[in-house]
Amino acid sequence: MLYIVPTPIGNLDDMTFRGVQVLNSCDIILAEDTRTSGKLLKHYQIDKPLWSFHAFNEHKALNSIIDHLQQGKTMALISDAGTPGISDPGFLLVRACVKENIKVSCLPGATAFVPALVASGMASDKFYFEGFLPHKKGRQTRLKYLAQLTCTIILYESPYRLIKCLQEIKEYLGADRNVCVAREISKIFEEFRVSNVLNAIEHYEKHPPKGEIVIVIENLEKSVSNPEDS
């Protein structure tokens, strides 16, 4: 059996009781970065074999992992932070398990875009999760597609590319769009900054951001409406 176990995106206390129990009970833990995961396991006094499973070796490691699962081993997959499979390794392994009729159980838990969306105050009844935009090839195509959507849009971004991304949002989705830039979620310096995209660009040009970032883009109708009508 394979368990998908979300891990904290910030505060280590965000780990669920069940997540700790599963990690303590499994035979092998698959980790995106064994050094990062080692700190979490040490914090919760979990002592289990730790195997590396990340974007650069998942194709090569897949068959061996499936073999161990078919032999009766119970494994848990964790990423550096959040839920595996959401902009993190995991999809290929889960798909292979489903194909081979290996039971998969995904525990509920931390995912960065959920607190960012809820805390933004933007419409959450309908939203589109894009994740990370392509760095080069296909980036303009994705931005043009996003510009056609009328629902709330969610992006992941690196602090080093935040200003570039905000400038592209201004160019393709319009300077009137409101955005929420969520940083350091669940950490000491957690920030949810809501403004129009022009003000966001000006702010982060003066104050270079740190930490992983979620950008929530307000739905089109709300952004272009007259404030007196709301």
User: What CATH code is carried by the domain that includes residue 19?
Assistant: 3.40.1010.10
Q: Which residue, 79, 106, 133, sits at the end of a domain? A: 106
Residue 204's pLDDT is 97
Sign of CA dihedral 155, 161, 163, 166: negative
Do 79 and 148 have their domain in common? Answer: no
List the chain residues with pLDDT less than 50.
Answer: 225-230
Do 136 and 192 have their domain in common? Answer: yes
Residue 181's pLDDT is 98
Do 163 and 140 have their domain in common? Answer: yes
Residue 223's pLDDT is 61
Do 139 and 88 have their domain in common? Answer: no
Residue 220's pLDDT is 82
Query: Which range marks the domain in which residue 57 is found?
Result: 2-106
Q: How far apart are CA 135 and CA 113, in angstroms?
A: 20
Do 79 and 132 have their domain in common? Answer: no
Residue 227's pLDDT is 43
Model pTM above 0.75: yes
Do 119 and 221 have their domain in common? Answer: yes
Do 22 and 70 have their domain in common? Answer: yes
